[in-house]
A and B are shown apart, each in its own frame.
Chain A
Amino acid sequence: MNPQLILLIPVLPLLAFLANGLFGRWLGRAGGWLAVLCMGGSAVIGAVLFIGALGGRIALPVDVTLWQWLAVGDLSVRVGFHVDQLTCLMLFFVTLVSSLVFLYSMGYMEGDPGFNRFFAYMGLFDFSMLVLVLGDSLPVMFVGWEGVGLCSYLLIGYYLALPGAADAGKKAFIVNRIGDFGFLVAMCMLFKATGTLHIQTILGEAAAGANPLLRAGGAFVTALTLMLFLGCTGKSAQIPLFVWLPDAMAGPTPVSALIHAATMVTAGVYLMVRLSALFALAPATMLVVAIVAALTAFVAGSIALTQRDIKKVLAYSTVSQLGYMFLACGVGAFVAGIFHVFTHAFFKGLLFLGAGSVIHSAHHEQDLFNLGGLRRAMPKTAVTFFIACLAIAGIPPLAGFFSKDEILWQTFASGRLGLWVLGVVTALMTAIYSFRAYFLTFEGESRLEKAHGHGHGDAHGHGAVHESPATMTIPLILLAVGAVGAGFLNLPPLFLGGEGKEGVVSTFLEPVLAPAREIIAARAHMAAAGEAVHHGAGLEVGLMLFSIALAVAGLLLARHYALKAWPAAADRAAHRFGSLYQLSYHRWWWDDFYNLAVAGGLRGVARLATWFDRWIIDGILHTIGGLASLGSRALRGLQNGQVQSYALGFLVGVNVVVWLVLWF
């Protein structure tokens, strides 16, 4: 494959950005179609690249060096792209899901006054994400990393007039900055250790094990990877920096789909998998990652159970699923992590676009308690949404089943049973909250009219709820196909009549992840020679059946509470588990805690600084100024305009000087 074609993948979205940003006023709706075409072109190249690489027809890795960016002292950074198996996988689904979201936006954003601004931001967003994925050195990656942060800020705050939107945008940006700080520190530490920022060189040194600073289990590499993980928690919304993601719902729904499915939040997981050899060197960091991830999955899953806003449910669901991805990485199963990123992109994109379709049709009603019974009016949205729920809940043979079950199995196999229990409970909650959202939205009686007054809606020309236009339903259907089929990609060829027990994607990614796997295997070998825990296939199948049972149980529970006995049973349950319900409904008071501890503390510091500025700094300045003012008040009496008094002054002065000179 021609390397220039790979360059087109990020350049096309950039083109969409430039066209809509500079000439949007004249392009109008055509600008949107141009963006869709550009993104679609990227997706086609991405797919060709991925399929070619998967079939072994394209030799990987491919390195493209563009130009020397900067050279200062020992530091030399070139702008270059590195395309290996991992990059191919990321490029494939990022461009695919993005192009579908772009197409969907044509319907969703129709008639919006900022139509072209929207597509410009979206193009820049995808460009940044693709630079992040393609970059062959950390600074280039960082450009993309910051770019997605900027674009998320612009897009979350897209509805400029909404009071909450600008705040949500700022929150996303600031919280991300905290994470970026970690990334920057880690970059400096890596430069100190290896003298380069080129990723493949760094990974090579990490795998070789000759670098004294990158010694396995060393304090330096542990601190370094913890800093990197701080960056990941910012971008990928893990505890403690996950609070921005739910607020990001203030943006238009396609943006949420883009952030949650294709770009932005997957960046953290990507970074961790990309630098897996470094993380593998620091078992302490891996443990921290696994614990934080499992807690995040659990906390976010529990919050999603009781949220009333359909987009909030999905947002916390994303946080929870990201927890799964990091959990997989934390226990060393990087393939399972990145494969969950891959499948998650399809069904989470589908969930968000489905929710957007509902919101679009239901006159911007997002409260689950005011929706209901929409299946009859919008069958395509309902069916695709249901498929996405099945996928995320982990019902076989949909995509989520393969990836999530692999993560749970790997966690179990790693011997960290506490984390496994958290993961399993989260799996149950995943099924409950996603089906709760489905049943409350699409099944049962419609509560829309009750919420908006009887019949008033029609009189005001709102019209009845109807299915969304084709530009919106076609992406839904295509993503539903992905949500059903993406999981099969990692089926062992054995099942398809071929050879080998490893999944297709696992085999495909093996060259990228081999160093990390070898480091971990070497440590396991040293720590417990001969004590290798070997779990039989029977246990794996048993656990698989267990998690399927959990998913079905979740479905039935949600059906009971959200459909059959709604709302009485739900109310009773909320009363019986009053404190737990409050804990979940108020999101564990995370935001309030930050308000109190972080924002409150900063406000206290600011108040102290104000006092210091007003009384100490200003006091000193006012004293100096006041003295000068007093002195001049005394002296200005001398300037009385009487020329003769000045002459007297000369006389006296000259006499004094002359006498002084004569005297000495």
Chain B
Amino acid sequence: MTYMIHGNLILAMAIFTIGMLGILWKRNAIAIFMCVELMLNAANLVFVTFAQSLGQARGVAVFLFVITVAAAEAAVGLALFIKVFNDKQTIEADRLDMLQH
């Protein structure tokens, strides 16, 4: 049991770190977006792991919420990217820098 928790937590940390580094390094907005999803799911994995080990349903409930919100967010985010692309012919994050001093 303890072994499974450790394994899951290490996996979640790895996924979270990959997502974070992806956000910092990737240029395409959709890739960044996917990295955000990775981070969310890393968090989900931690929730589910502890729900399992502590025998409580609350962790699973939060996981369901996060999945729902992430789906909605994906819809909004993709719609935004399409609008931005129509406008600027690019969705590369480092070129969308008009909001500056």
Contacts and interface: CB of A to CB of B under 8 A. Distances in A.
Contact of B23 (A639, A640, A647): A647
Contacts of A648: 24
- For the complex of A and B, list the 9 residue pairs with the smallest distance between their C-beta atoms, beginning with the closest: A641-B97, A641-B100, A636-B101, A639-B101, A641-B99, A640-B100, A642-B97, A639-B100, A643-B93
B20 interface: yes
A76 B97 CA distance: 73
Nearest to B27: A644
B93 to A, nearest CB: 6
Contacts of A644: 23-24, 32, 93-94
A651 B97 contact: no
Nearest to B26: A644
Interface residues of B, number: 12
A141 B93 CA distance: 81
11 contacts: A636-B101, A639-B101, A640-B101, A641-B96, A641-B97, A641-B98, A641-B99, A642-B97, A644-B23, A647-B23, A651-B24
> Which label, helix, strand, loop or mixed, suits the secondary structure of the A interface?
helix
A651 B19 CA distance: 12
B24 A640 contact: no
A642 B94 contact: yes
Nearest to B29: A643
Interface string A522-533: 000000000000
Interface in B52-101: 93-94, 96-101
A642 to B, nearest CB: 5
Contacts of A641: 96-100
Contacts of A651: 20, 24
B90 to A, nearest CB: 14
Interface in B7-45: 20, 23-24, 32
Contacts of B32: 644
Interface in A611-664: 636-637, 639-644, 647-648, 651
A539 B24 CA distance: 118
A643 B84 CA distance: 15
A633 to B, nearest CB: 10
Nearest to A647: B23
A642 B24 CA distance: 11
Contacts of B98: 641
A641 B99 CA distance: 5
A640 B20 contact: no
Contacts of A636: 101
B26 to A, nearest CB: 8
A648 B93 CA distance: 14
A640 B24 CA distance: 15
B101 A642 contact: no
A651 B101 CA distance: 22
A257 B51 CA distance: 105
A642 B93 contact: yes
B98 to A, nearest CB: 6
Contacts of B20: 651
Interface string A408-446: 000000000000000000000000000000000000000
Nearest to A636: B101
A31 B97 CA distance: 75
Nearest to B98: A641
Nearest to A632: B101
A639 B98 CA distance: 10
Contacts of B101: 636-637, 639-640
Contacts of A643: 93, 96
Q: Which of A637, A640, A644, A647 has the most CB of B within 10 A?
A: A644
A639 B101 CA distance: 6
Contacts of A640: 97, 100-101
Nearest to A638: B101
Contacts of A637: 101
B96 A647 contact: no
Q: Which of B94, B96, B99, B101 has the most CB of A within 10 A?
A: B101
Interface string A268-309: 000000000000000000000000000000000000000000
A637 B100 CA distance: 9
Contacts of B100: 639-641
A647 B97 CA distance: 14
B22 to A, nearest CB: 10
Nearest to A643: B93
B94 A647 contact: no
A647 B20 CA distance: 9
Interface string A68-86: 0000000000000000000
A644 B31 CA distance: 13
A169 to B, nearest CB: 56
Given A640-B101, A644-B24, 4 more contacts: A641-B100, A643-B93, A644-B94, A651-B20
Nearest to B94: A642
Q: Which of A640, A641, A647, A651 has the most CB of B within 10 A?
A: A641
A335 B97 CA distance: 93
Given A642-B93, A642-B94, A647 B24 contact: yes
A641 B24 CA distance: 14
A644 B36 CA distance: 12
Interface in A361-404: none
A636 B98 CA distance: 14
A642 B35 CA distance: 17
Contacts of B94: 642, 644
A503 B24 CA distance: 111
A651 B23 CA distance: 11
Contacts of B99: 641
A637 B101 CA distance: 8
B16 to A, nearest CB: 12
A449 B66 CA distance: 108
A643 B101 CA distance: 13
A422 to B, nearest CB: 81
